[in-house]
Amino acid sequence: MIVHLTSRAARIVCATTIFLSGCFTSGPPDNLGFSEIVQLNDLDGVYENLGEGGSFELRLSQLVWPDVEDLEHTQINRIEVRAIDKNTLSVTATDKIAVIVKDEDFVAGKDFKIKDGVIQLSRRVVIPPLDSESMTHFLGIGYEDVDIGLDEAGHGKYRSKGVTGGLLFMWFPIAAGGSNDVRFRRLAD
């Protein structure tokens, strides 16, 4: 089926596409770039669990233990990270009165991967579910990239970035992209 658009209809479709397309960025004040993690002991330190900036409230413990259902992330105050050896990190979460809530060791190559000086948490293609209800709202594809590491001042840094494109309500073309940065203050070495 070939659809012919009048010049007025073509202008409306183009204007709508431009209106519905865009970029977003969010981050903490004085947002700094990533510094390179050369060895695991670069991460040694005590970090504030609640992040600064970003478009949503994020806790470092949610990134370290995303699948632990009985962990009360809001009760965790600090996260301590220590390199045990050149391949293993020990991570300990404590509450407001310094009681250990959770601790675990993570091994490079098994539990996480460092690439280009940051820990890659995920890189994935995002495809919305293809049920009849979601297809009437948006049909398209996206890409998400999530990294964690240190910023140039030595604080913990999280970055989620992505792009998406497709059709909104099966008619309006849309494209969007952006990034969300969160800082986790380093409280002590």
The string of pLDDT tens digits covering residues 67-110 is: 898 999 999 999 999 999 999 999 999 999 999 999 999 999 99
Could you tell me how far CA 181 lies from the centroid of its own chain? 7
Q: What is the pLDDT of residue 14?
A: 46
Q: What's residue 24's pLDDT?
A: 75
Beta bridge partners of 140: 166
Which one-letter amino acid corresponds to residue 168?
L
| 52-56, 79-83, 126-130, 183-187: least confident range | 126-130
Answer whether residue 160 shows pLDDT above 80.
yes
- Please report, rounded to a whole number, the percentage of residues in the chain having pLDDT higher than 90: 56
pLDDT band at 13 (very low <50, low <70, confident <90, very high): very low
Domain boundary assignment for the chain: 7-188
Dihedral (Cα; 113, 126, 68, 85), 10-degree rounding: 0
Global confidence as pTM: 0.79
For 15, the 3-state DSSP assignment is: helix
Residue with more model confidence, 137 or 60: 60
Share above pLDDT 70 across residues of the chain, in percent, rounded to a whole number:
82
Q: Could you give the count of Cα atoms lying within 13 Å of 114 in the half-sphere of its Cβ?
A: 20
Residues 125 and 128: their CA atoms lie apart, in Å, by 10
Give 17's pLDDT tier (boundaries 50, 70, 90).
very low
What pLDDT is recorded for position 58?
A: 94
Tokens 């259902």 sit at which residue? 69
Residue 143, classed as helix, strand or coil, is strand
pLDDT at 21: 58
Going along the chain, which residue ranges are E strands? 22-26, 34-35, 45-48, 78-85, 88-94, 100-107, 113-115, 118-126, 138-151, 156-168, 172-184, 186-188
Q: What are phi and psi of 119, to 5 degrees?
A: -85, 120
Most confident of 2-6, 12-16, 143-147: 143-147
φ and ψ at residue 69, rounded to 5 degrees: -70, -35
Could you say which DSSP state residue 135 is in? H
* Stronger pLDDT, 168 or 157, i.e. the higher one: 157
Query: What value does the mean pLDDT of the chain take?
Result: 84
Task: Retrieve residue 171's tokens.
Answer: 């008619």
Q: How far apart are CA 8 and CA 124, in angstroms?
A: 39
- In the predicted model, what is the mean pLDDT of residues 134-147? 76
The answer to whether residues 185 and 155 touch, using CB atoms and an 8 Å cutoff, is yes
